[in-house]
Structures are given as structure tokens and as C-alpha cells.
Structure 1
Amino acid sequence: MTSSDDRGWLRALPADGGRDALFTRAGHWVYAACRLSDLVQGRPPGVTGSQWSSASRTAFDLVVCAADSGRPVVAVEIGPVALPGSAQQRAERLTDAVSAAVGLPVLRVGSPTLRAAEHGRRLVEYVIDARAYAAGAGLGGGEDEPAPVGFRDILGRLPDGRTGPVNDLGAVTRAAAVEAYVAGRLADPIVRALHVRWVDGPAQGWGWVQVRPDVCLVERVSVTEQRFSCGVDAARLAEDLAAVAVGARLRALEADGPALLARADLTAEIVALSRRRHELVGGFAFDHLCVD
């Protein structure tokens, strides 16, 4: 299968003349549950009939299109990471290969907790805004001018009156963790986190809270950008999304739930991750978390 940057194979939406956008945002239409065959005009060169028959049935959770042309900007998937060797992983790889052949940008968020129905709209709105900000911040600016503040680092007034990063997707979870601590449901009010980016692999974020001094609620989220940029660092986005997932779990927290992890085991997993720093872009910056 050959890769191509030719976007001529991509079809403008609504392709059927009657598809309604789920929502609009800053010059974009966002559609739900679009199949790959809705986005691609026929079987592209280099793709066999069998490959196309299988991949064309793949449904993306959300597809962002330019409002002026209807052309796809990115196809988004949110859900559990495919297990190695599974049928889901094989289908995912085939979909990725066909998407690459036609130049379709794909954003994949892997999480056991996050779902498109609950979290997709906020994520897509965030990415659209972050990309618009990055495009504007990159204009002008001489050598002597300071680097523009990144979208994630913009400071402003938070809902509780404090000053902090207004584009922190995990802010609601951080506030909820404090409330849960005050109510006696958590042993510590802080949402802790780390992020890494694998060489030739996804960005990954971890987030956790202490339910008891020796037990943690842990969430891991991966972010994979294919021919696409979120407008913010994907690893930091993965970390913030892990905090969002922690917040979703907090709403139905069971003190003895089977998904909770012993604090010592979490520390051991962080230590194991640190030993793979040679596989990470920029190494590992969280050695301070390797001590229980």
C-alpha cells in the first residue's frame, strides 16, 4: 500500500446531501459516526479490493470538516486501546494504512474510560481552539521577541477565583478531587500525573489520586496524531485527558473497586517506565515520582 499526500481522494461532507452536523465550531462542521467510505471517493490506488472492503466499513466517532469546503480536517476515534494481536488491532492497522494512502488525518485517543458520547465534543472543541490559537501565535514575531505563550499555558481567572491555566482540561477533576477529599472519599486532594511520548509511537499521559494512603485510582490515556497536530503538545494533552478520565471515575468511585491499584505497584510501574527512557522522546522527566 503506497502513501500519498494527494487529498483528491477525500470527499466533502455532507456527502449524501442530507447529513446534519452534530455541532459547529469556529469555521468547522463536526459530524458523528462517519464511515471511511463516507470520506473517501472510491478505492484508492494501492489498496486491494479486500482491504478496501474491510477498511471502508470502519466508523470514526467524529469527523471535523472545514465549513467552507466540507473537506475533512481530521477523523477522531476515542475508546479502549486495541489489544496486541487482536482483531481490533488488525482492523485499526488496516484503517490507518488506507487513511495514510488517501492523506486523511486521524486523531486517536486511547482510554478505557473516555468515550466520544461523553467527552468527544469537549475534546474536539479544545483541539479546534488550540489549532486556531497556534496558527495565530505563530504569525509575526522577530528574533528578539519572546516566544508566545502556548494555548495550554494561558493564565486567567478560574471558576474558584484563583489565577491559573484556563485551558487545563483537568481543572474540573482537580476541583472535584478537593471536594472528595473534604468529604472523606479521598486520602489526598492532589491529582498527580506524568506524560511521555514514545519514539515512533503515541504520546501517553497518566493521572491518579490516592483513594487511601496505600491505594490509588489510576487512568492512562494515549494520544496518536497521524498527519495532524492538535495545536498543543500531544503528551501534555494526554496527561490532561488522563485527569478527565480520573474525574469520570471519581463520580462513581468504589473504595474497594477492582480497578484500583496499590500505591507500591504504581510506583513500581513508574520506575519501570523510567528505565525505558531511551525509548522516549526527550527522555523521562518524572524521576521524583519514582520514590514511594
Structure 2
Amino acid sequence: MTPTATDDARLRPVPCDGGGSFTRAGHVVHGHRRLGELVAHRPEGITGHQWSSATREEFDHVVCAADSGLPRLAVSIAPAAPPGSVRLRAERMREAVCAAVGLPVLRIESPTLRAADHGRPIVTYVLEARDYATAVPPVGPDAEALDPPVGFRDIVGRLPDGRQGYVNDLGALARADAVAAYVARRLADPIVRGLHVRWRDGAAEGWSWVEVRPGQSLVERVTVREHRFRCGVDAARFAEDLAALAVGERLRSPEMDEPALVDRTELRRQIRALRDRRDELADDFAFDHLCAD
């Protein structure tokens, strides 16, 4: 989120209306703003049609500099747009305008997570993670530290249920809920499992699942797309933690019926299909053990 003078000239300050705004890590975060409220004028290379369509599109949250009010990050949390849909075309036009004016975008695609319920804690998490990453010095070959600094996601402390664990694991409550549900005989297995990958196009994808009935699992998938932005934590692990968070939401839903569950054989087939696309991955597939019978 390091702007240039040219970027700032293309953006306009966002006034604080007092409703739903909050301050975190030196930034003011606003809810629901149209792109037209953030961009001062149509940038070069954007057609009139693109401009007209894009400026009507909303972001769920906009992070602004506390001193100037200028936008520093736009956040979208919504289900993935269907291929070839009008919404997908509108999103692409919106992102083209954001790229032209240098506005970073964080897009989180999930069928379960919603901005109204999860947006504020997710944005808070990202800002605090970036703030922590900036404060912790990098470790290189000439570093004097004997031990490398602990990453934001790997900080250990006391969890809300009293146990020791990773306090910045967004799926921590879901994992505790799964254990409680298992003890109450509402789940067949207490462990929330998962995987994550990063695609060469820059997108990160996380899966998470828990076995509700023998051989039948509740599965969630989340995609994180960073445009001119870095979350302060590994985006792929972030996506998996978000998927675990979504599992927790589903566990608290009374609508966990048979059609929502995935058979073990089908889940393994889907994981194998993901493994078979390893040539499209930015890193090697690290979850071969989940493919075994």
C-alpha cells in the first residue's frame, strides 16, 4: 500500500460519515463505497463504457490514510462471479480502473463468508498483520539475530477457550467448535483439515473440511486475490484459515443436511484433480499425502 504522487493525484479523499467507519493501524476503514467515490477522474486507457460501468461498482470496505483520507486499499468479500457472467465483466472493469489509478485491491471469494459479518475482523487482521510485518526486521544472511522472527500467523498465546495455540489463526474458533461438536457427538471427527495452493496467476486458494458423518465432510473453499497488495501473511495460508473460518460458520448453521456434505471418495478425487494441475501452481503441491487411499 505504498502510493506514488501520481496515484494520489488520481484518487479523491473519502469523507468520514461516521456510520460503520473505524480506525486500525493508522488507517480509517469505511464500509461500502462506490468506485466513483474513490477516483477523481477517468484515467487514460479506460473507455467511457468501462468508466461508466466500473464507477457504479461497490467495494465492501475501503482503507484510507488517517491524515489525508486518500484510499489505500479496497476490499471485496463475496462469492466468486460465475464465468461469463455480467457480474464478472463488471468486476474486471472495476479492477482495470483500480489498476490504472494504482489503487490496491484485496478480493476474497467465498460462498459462505460475508462482508457484513466477517469484513471488519478480516480487514483488521490484514492491517495488523501488515503492521507487524513492517515492524519485524527481515532475516538475511548478515542478520545478527540467532533466531528468525516469528511470523504474525505463528505467534503462540492463550486462545479464547483457555488453550495455548496460534492466536492469529482465523480458524482457531472453528477448530475449538469442532472439538466441542465431536464431544457432543455431532461430528464424526474433531479435526478441521485443510490445504492451500498458490496459482501462477497470483491467486491463492485454501480448502478446509471436517467430517460430519462417517465418510461425509463439510467442505469450504476460499480464494484470495491480491492486486498491488500483500496481506502481511502468506496469502495461501490466509486462504486456508479463511476456509476454516467458513467451516466454523457452517457448523453453527442448522442447515447441515446431506446435500451440503461431500463424500470422502469425491473429496479425494477433487484433491487429486488439484494435484494434477501442479504445473499451474507457483509452488509445488505439498499435500500428496491427502491423495492416498
TM-score (norm 1): 0.94
Equivalent pair of 1:134/1:231 in contact (CA under 8 Å): yes
Displacement of 1:43 after TM fit? 1.1
Equivalent residue for 1:63?
62
Q: Map residues 220-231 of structure 1 onto 2, 5 A cutoff.
A: 220-231=221-232
Structure 1 unaligned spans of 5+ = none
1: CA distance, partners of 2:121 / 2:17: 25
Specify the SS of the correspondent of 2:33: strand
Equivalent residue for 1:233?
234
Specify the SS of the correspondent of 1:185: coil
Q: Map residues 132-211 of structure 1 onto 2, 5 A cutoff.
A: 132-138=131-137, 142-145=142-145, 146-211=147-212
Equivalent residue for 1:95?
94
Q: Give the RMSD, CA atoms, in angstroms.
A: 1.7
Equivalent residue for 1:242?
243
TM-score (norm 2): 0.93
2: CA distance, partners of 1:70 / 1:21: 16
Structure 1 stretch displaced more, 215-224 or 5-14: 5-14
Equivalent residue for 2:217?
216
Equivalent pair of 2:139/2:149 in contact (CA under 8 Å): no
Equivalent pair of 2:250/2:256 in contact (CA under 8 Å): no
Equivalent pair of 1:79/1:110 in contact (CA under 8 Å): yes
1: CA distance, partners of 2:222 / 2:10: 31
What count of residue pairs does the alignment treat as equivalent? 287
Equivalent pair of 1:5/1:103 in contact (CA under 8 Å): no
2: CA distance, partners of 1:57 / 1:195: 33
State the AA in 1 paired with 2:148: A
Specify the SS of the correspondent of 2:260: coil
Equivalent pair of 1:178/1:189 in contact (CA under 8 Å): yes
CA-to-partner distance for each residue in 1:120-161, whole Å, 9 max, x for gaps?
A: 011001001000000001368742423211100011122333
Equivalent residue for 1:6?
6
CA-to-partner distance for each residue in 1:21-53, whole Å, 9 max, x for gaps?
A: 521112111111100011000111111111101
Structure 1 stretch displaced more, 26-35 or 121-130: 26-35
1: CA distance, partners of 2:34 / 2:255: 37
1: CA distance, partners of 2:54 / 2:279: 34
Structure 1 residues 41, 19: closer, same or farther in 2, change over 3 A?
farther
CA-to-partner distance for each residue in 1:102-121, whole Å, 9 max, x for gaps?
A: 00100000000000000001
State the AA in 1 paired with 2:240: E
Q: Map residues 7-86 of structure 1 onto 2, 5 A cutoff.
A: 7=7, 8-14=9-15, 18=17, 20=19, 22-86=21-85
State the AA in 1 paired with 2:102: G
Equivalent residue for 1:117?
116
Specify the SS of the correspondent of 1:123: helix
Specify the SS of the correspondent of 1:228: coil
State the AA in 1 paired with 2:126: V
Displacement of 1:213 after TM fit? 1.3
State the AA in 1 paired with 2:106: L
Percent of counterpart pairs with the same letter?
62
Displacement of 1:201 after TM fit? 3.6
Displacement of 1:235 after TM fit? 0.4
Displacement of 1:20 after TM fit? 4.5
Structure 1 residues 121, 202: closer, same or farther in 2, change over 3 A?
same
1: CA distance, partners of 2:280 / 2:52: 36
Structure 2 unaligned spans of 5+ = none
CA-to-partner distance for each residue in 1:200-226, whole Å, 9 max, x for gaps?
A: 141000000001111110000000000
Equivalent residue for 1:289?
290
Equivalent residue for 1:130?
129
Equivalent pair of 2:204/2:225 in contact (CA under 8 Å): yes
